[in-house]
Structure 1
Amino acid sequence: MSFDKTTQSEETLWHDYLLSKSPATRESIILKYAPLVKYVAGRVAIGLPSNVEFDDLVSFGVFGLMDAIEKYDPSRGIKFETYAISRIRGSILDGLRSNDWVPRSVRQKARELERICSDLENKLGRSASDQEISEAMNISIQEFYELLSEVSSTTLSSLDELWMVHSNDEDSVRVLDLVRNNESEDPLHQVEMEEIKSTLASAIDYLPERERMVIALYYYEGLTLKEIGEIMEISESRVSQIHTKAIFRLRGRLNRWRKSYTEI
């Protein structure tokens, strides 16, 4: 995603702000990257219940943008857009979680689906088919698809969810935060980060082809579910179901990795 050039270059804006911390310069940076907030909010909004207002997502995202501006370090060689997207998305997700927008019954169903997907994969040594999952849940295949649609909103955090390295939030990382820090001298932390990235990459490679394609098109190519549906020649709701299945499979594999890692 690109943004319009301002009268000041990006480098000049950041140079001035880091030197002066001027509120006026900070405001200029916020205005420059405001479209990024709407872009991220638009992607998060996909699959959310109709009672969630888009303006609320934007409001949550602005706080993330402001946090990103305060914490951004150009010397790390990371583009601000890359860094800010993670912070904006995280702020939106935190705002949604704090408002408890998903009913408890839906979260319970989501946890049960995640558990069954994980158990079946362990037992079968491969990804379970839709039929196998529905049979394990004692529901029809049609009821399974309806369940996927119902719990799809719980997967919006998906690959940006906090993956716990240890047992508390201070030791957590976001997938999009797994960027090399040249100033880090903690070899254990470096190893943990590499392990998480390797495990996630392996989990994605292990997905069935259609689910792997949806993940690639959505997260790496930045397409919407509607655009993915047009490419794959299936409905947007079907893409949403495939995405939901993929996320639950990934969660199951990463959860098993966490347990095995913490037992070491």
Structure 2
Amino acid sequence: MSTHDHTQDRSVDQEQALHGLDTPTGTTDSEQMIVDHMGLVGHIVRETMSRVPSHVNRDDLHSAGLTALVKAAHAFEADRGVPFTRYAASRVRGAILDELRQIDWASRSVRRRGRDLDQARTRLAATLGRVPDNAEVAASLGLTLAEVESNDGDVARANVLSLQGGSETPYEEMLVSTSPSPEAAVEHQERLDYLAEAIEELPERLQVVVREYFLAERPMAEIAETLGVTESRVSQIRAEALVLLRDALNSALDPELVTPHPRPDGCAAQRRAAYFQAVAARHAATRQPARVTARLSGTA
């Protein structure tokens, strides 16, 4: 398929997605999420373009990313506890990566041979104490000089996809930025919001210790005197509060990281679960007024 045909097909896919043809159950909320996160697509495309050869078409990547954003908005399920920004960023990156793979014409054999050559050069450099020439590399692998040079040329011409730098390095870790990405900033703010709400839902004594020790920066001895307990007890309360706060945030944002309770059917486990639910309910309640205000102002 030619590049022109590929671009046309991508444009058709994008237009269908934008009009909800791929997901006829599109809602006003999903449309608003798309509008709110178009900047995220642009950011990921910009970062990607800084890592690929100049002949890669920016519009193709943007089109693929936008299509992925639309599909992500329609498929998003808020009750899964994953912020939409994180979910959408993952889908957009994946779509852009797929787009790059489609326009990268190098065969797997060329890529595999290229890795073999790189490994041979590394081994020889360690042995010789200098950069080996192509003839030495060819001899070490049982290849001809022409085969080595030909493969190097093929890889150089087709080096569209250097984003992952190897199967063990996540794509997103290769994107260099001097400032937090949009999704990172949103995730950070969401964690701060959850933390504030989790503190508000702590039992009174735990809440006092957290506020006085971490926010007011009072000495532990003063807090102990205020509560009428020993410093050792304040330290225990602080540790208990930190575990609850950590697990509350994980319960909302990273459920797989929540530490299982040793006695899941016990009263302590039930109280902990009730605390998690209270934090989630407070978070939902604080978001509702903002959503209503946005709708009344015509921005949602």
Tell me the TM-score normalized by structure 1.
Answer: 0.41
Tell me the TM-score normalized by structure 2.
Answer: 0.36
User: Highest CA radius of gyration, 1 or 2?
Assistant: 2
